[in-house]
Amino acid sequence: MINEILKDAEERMSKAVNSVEVSFNKIRTGRAHPSLLDPIKVNYYGSPTPLSQVANITVEDARTLGISPWEGNLVPEIEKAIMKSDLGLNPSTTGNLIRIPMPALTEETRGNYAKQARSEAENGRIAIRNIRRDANGNLKDLTKEKEISEDEERRGQDQVQKLTDKYVAKVEERLAAKEKDLMAI
């Protein structure tokens, strides 16, 4: 019983850390990275399709992304989708290749992005603590139903706390790496 609760809690906490990483990937740094374009959807024959499913995205150099659509008629649609996105990117097209230069980040935008990263990390920590609360609640329920003893419940809560500490530390690691990346010039 306790092992099932712990396993479920660990799985959910791992997903919370992954969610924080995905959120961090959407925060632009000064370097070009294909995951930056993940949220962009292109109108492909009437349905919104992720950009990565209709084009090849490559890193040409540290500050430039290259997009080569699989169909030539998608170039204007891709440009339109990039312009509509709130990423602040300006694509330039040469034939069937779309280049996206990454503008240099100002100190102010770096600070705003760092603030956004800290906010995402806090959301991750809150999610992990909510999972801890759920797991501890399940342990209390088992104790009330006399399926486990109070000692077993206390040991289970200690293990849940260790899991919580471990995954909060992972979120902190990711945040520190993201902030370092943002502040690098």
Q: What is the CATH number of the domain that holds 90?
A: 3.30.1360.40
| Same domain, residue pair 86 and 115 | no
CA 98 to chain centre: 25
More confident residue, 137 or 71: 137
Q: What is the mean pLDDT of the chain?
A: 85
Q: At what angle do helices 150-183 and 107-144 cross, to 10 degrees?
A: 170
Lowest mean pLDDT among 25-34, 97-106, 129-138: 25-34
Q: What is the pLDDT of residue 185?
A: 60
| Same domain, residue pair 164 and 148 | yes
Is the whole-model pTM more than 0.85?
no
Q: What is the pLDDT of residue 122?
A: 93
| β pairing state of 92-94 and 47-50 | unpaired
> What pLDDT band is residue 37 in, cutting at 50, 70 and 90?
confident
Q: What is the pLDDT of residue 158?
A: 92
168-183 pLDDT tens trace: 999 999 999 888 887 7
52, pLDDT greater than 70:
yes
What burial letters (b/e) apply to 78-107, b meaning 16+ CB within 10 Å? bbebbeeeebebebeeeeeebebebeebee
For the segment 103-115, the average pLDDT, to the nearest whole number, is 81
Rounded-to-integer distance, Cα 98 and Cα 69, Å: 8
| Same domain, residue pair 177 and 113 | yes
For the segment 33-38, the average pLDDT, to the nearest whole number, is 77
| Same domain, residue pair 160 and 174 | yes
| Same domain, residue pair 41 and 71 | yes
> What pLDDT band is residue 30 in, cutting at 50, 70 and 90?
low
> What pLDDT band is residue 29 in, cutting at 50, 70 and 90?
low
Pull the structure tokens for residue 163: 């899991």
Q: What is the pLDDT of residue 121?
A: 92
For the segment 67-88, the average pLDDT, to the nearest whole number, is 83
User: Range of 178's domain?
Assistant: 2-26+106-183
Supply the CATH number for residue 124's domain.
1.10.132.20
Amino acid in the structure at residue 25? N
| β pairing state of 41-44 and 97-101 | unpaired
